[in-house]
Amino acid sequence: DRRVVIVGAGMAGVQTAVALREQGWDGEIRLLGAEPHRPYDRPPLSKAVLLGKAEGSAFEVDFDSLVIALELDREATGLRAAEHILDTDTGPVPYDVLVIATGADPVALPGSEGMPGVHVLRTMDDAERLRPVLAGQRDVVAVGAGWIGAEFATAAREAGCKVTVVEAADRPLAGALPAEVAAHMADWYEHSGAHLVTGAHVAAVEPGAVVLDDGTRIPADAIVVGIGARPATGWLAGSGIELAPDRSVATDDRLRTSLPDVYAVGDCASFPSARYGERLLVHHWDNALQGPRTVAENIVHGPAEGPVYDPVPYFWSEQFGRFVQYAGHHAAADELVWRGSPDSAAWTVCWLRAGVLVALLAVGRPRDLAQGRKLIERGARIDRELAADAAVPLKAA
Ligand code: FAD
């Protein structure tokens, strides 16, 4: 069994191919991707690429010298696991080991699909369509004050657009952070000159405007919908693969799927975390970097010898002139400890569970993040009084 086929040529797919070579895999590697572009990195799409400060964000990987066969513009359409065959729009591909890395698709605003002027921000093509909107300093409306909405608003303000962000919840990032933390982020919008409308639902999208359910009409040359993303697993229908209720491919702790010789990694897959006692679906860049190393090791050494995947999730966001970083995973019941004032330029929030640091959000405090991440990895207890003192480095009790 020497033929590895990887489907999805985003971060997770590319990193799997590279990690396989790094770990000494000398069999065939085929990397299939639905997009026509050379594989590229997504975080710059809502930052430098959107603003035209960077032309592109292609990965600096020499696929030829690594002997990785890139098959772009090729879409997987089905999987026949018993025969070890991946079906694509241009014919079947046999494999010995298959890695599913098809990522996620943005959720559409119901009723606005395909309407002119309505955008999502997931691909290079999406970013290229939005660039002239920013360059032309047009009026824009972002639907959703999540990570994408915040980064888009940041870039659009920087470009000089009039920006309105419409959010259904009463605060930004309602799905990710508790009210007492996220409430402080609402001010960031206003200070940047963006207008944040919370508790508002989009009733209709009309040419040139968004209409809210209270009748408010907001002029919009472009509307960017950032209301979440769903695992791109529709093509696996009928394959018999086990999906979780959130439609992610449900893997085991070595990122193996329910089908023989099939792994899944990145935004499309969820894994059971012993560390956090629940199944995690992580839609962040670091997971698409770390997961592939585990997959590659399991392929190279065989799953009996291979490592278990149980990372401390990490991500960052650049919004409204701030560097926001989060490590770990918290639950509503965890104890929150403030480190510094949320009214100042830099502050951190720690989450403790029975005295153990389980998660941390750092705004403009990268050292807290670096120290905290190590403490979380070790499952260290910390002293809550010391943790609350922003002048003292974070350390184990
Ligand atoms: P993807 O990057 O989605 O790649 C999957 C690929 O598979 C796609 O190219 C897709 O076309 C292809 N594909 C899908 N279906 C098929 C099929 N049937 N056949 C063949 N190919 C298929 N994370 C952070 O931590 N920090 C950030 O600041 C940050 N910024 C971001 C900004 C933007 C605009 C976006 C969109 C994401 C951002 N992320 C960020 C998240 C991060 O980019 C993702 O977690 C990461 O890209 C996931 O990698 P992936 O390879 O799993 O999926």
State which ligand 1 atom lies nearest to the alpha carbon of 286. 25
Read off the pLDDT of residues 5-45 as tens digits, 9 standing for 90 and up: 999 999 999 999 999 999 999 999 999 999 999 999 999 99
Read off the pLDDT of residues 373-397 as tens digits, 9 standing for 90 and up: 999 999 999 999 999 999 999 999 9
**Are 6 and 32 contacting, i.e. CB atoms less than 8 angstroms apart?**
yes
Reported as a pLDDT band with limits 50, 70 and 90, residue 1 is: low
Q: Which CATH superfamily is domain 3-104+229-301 in?
A: FAD/NAD(P)-binding domain (3.50.50.60)
Q: Is the CB of 33 under 6 A from ligand 1?
A: yes
Reported as a pLDDT band with limits 50, 70 and 90, residue 303 is: confident
Q: Is the CB of 9 under 6 A from ligand 1?
A: yes
State which ligand 1 atom lies nearest to the alpha carbon of 103. 53
Q: Residue ranges of the domains in the chain?
A: 3-104+229-301, 108-225, 321-387
CA-wise closest residue to 144 among 214, 229, 46, 227: 227
The reply to whether 321-387 shares the fold of 108-225 is no
- The rounded percent of the chain whose pLDDT value lies above 70 is 100
User: Exposure pattern of 7-24 as b/e (b: 16+ CB <10 Å)?
Assistant: bbbbbbbbbbbbbbbeee
In residues, how long is the chain?
397
Q: Is the CB of 59 under 6 A from ligand 1?
A: no
Q: Which CATH superfamily is domain 321-387 in?
A: FAD/NAD-linked reductase, C-terminal dimerisation domain (3.30.390.30)
To test the pocket of ligand 1, the residue of 42, 89, 122 to mutate (highest count of ligand atoms within 8 Å of its CB) is 42
Q: Is the CB of 75 under 6 A from ligand 1?
A: yes
Over residues 352-362, mean pLDDT:
96
Distance (Å, whole) CA 281 – CA 265:
10
Distance 123 CA to ligand 1 centre (A): 8
Distance (Å, whole) CA 5 – CA 95:
6
Distance 103 CA to ligand 1 centre (A): 5
The overall average pLDDT reported for the chain is: 96
ipTM over 0.85: yes
Rounded to two decimals, what is the model's pTM?
Answer: 0.97
Distance 60 CA to ligand 1 centre (A): 17
Closest CA to ligand 1's atom 26: 316
- Fold for 108-225, please state it: FAD/NAD(P)-binding domain (3.50.50)
DSSP three-state, residue 314? strand
To test the pocket of ligand 1, the residue of 285, 289, 312, 326 to mutate (highest count of ligand atoms within 8 Å of its CB) is 285
Q: Is the CB of 235 under 6 A from ligand 1?
A: yes
Distance (Å, whole) CA 315 – CA 331:
17
Q: Is the CB of 76 under 6 A from ligand 1?
A: yes
Closest CA to ligand 1's atom 52: 266
Distance 32 CA to ligand 1 centre (A): 14
How far from each other are the two terminal CA atoms of the chain, in whole angstroms? 50
Distance (Å, whole) CA 201 – CA 75:
35
The counts of H helices and E strands in the chain are 7, 26
Q: Does the pLDDT of residue 228 top 90, yes or no?
A: yes
Where are the alpha helices (H) located in the chain, listed in sequence order? 11-22, 124-135, 147-159, 179-192, 285-301, 366-378, 384-387
Q: Identify the pLDDT of residue 114.
A: 86
To test the pocket of ligand 1, the residue of 74, 128, 267 to mutate (highest count of ligand atoms within 8 Å of its CB) is 267
Q: Identify the pLDDT of residue 111.
A: 87
Burial of 55 (0-12, 13-18, 19+ CB in 10 A): exposed
Q: Is the CB of 299 under 6 A from ligand 1?
A: no
